[in-house]
Amino acid sequence: MIKRIIAVVFGVLVAIGVIFILEAAGHLLYPTPQGLALDDPQKLKEAIAALPLPEFIIVLAAWMAGAFLGSFGALFFARSSQIWVGGIVTLFVFVAAVSNFFFVAYPIWFEIAAVLGIPLASWLAWKMYRARQPDA
């Protein structure tokens, strides 16, 4: 059991790292506008509305890749095909993403895609891990 708990922590760290790296790459491609006051909700909403579609795709891909690789890493480290091992990692990513919805005015399509895509990415990681097992 302790091995699975450590694996979940490992998976969460992998997810955080993947999301950080991919979102940082997105910020290099689409930097934050100079002089943007993050404490002004209206200006922030306008800045987000002006973002190009690829920036949203990068963020969504980062969250999904974090859920996928974090879940797969946890399953691999634990040597367990029990779905909850990767599911807990996904829960962390999911809660972090949904909490962002309260602070950042994302388009509704993006929020729906994230709510559906993050668990889907984790499920695909679990299916891929199980496919590698001889008894699967």
Is the model's pLDDT at 60 over the cut of 80? yes
Question: pLDDT tens for residues 11-54?
Answer: 999 999 999 999 999 989 988 777 777 777 777 778 888 888 99
Sole residue written with tokens 């699967």: 136
How does DSSP classify residue 102?
T
Q: Amino acid identity of 48?
A: I
On whether the CB atoms of residues 46 and 96 are closer than 8 A, the answer is no
- pLDDT band of residue 135 (cuts 50, 70, 90) is low
What pTM was estimated for this model as a whole?
0.88
Domain coordinates in residue numbering, the chain? 2-32+48-132
Question: pLDDT tens for residues 71-82?
Answer: 999 999 988 778
Query: Which two tokens mark 68?
Result: 């996928």
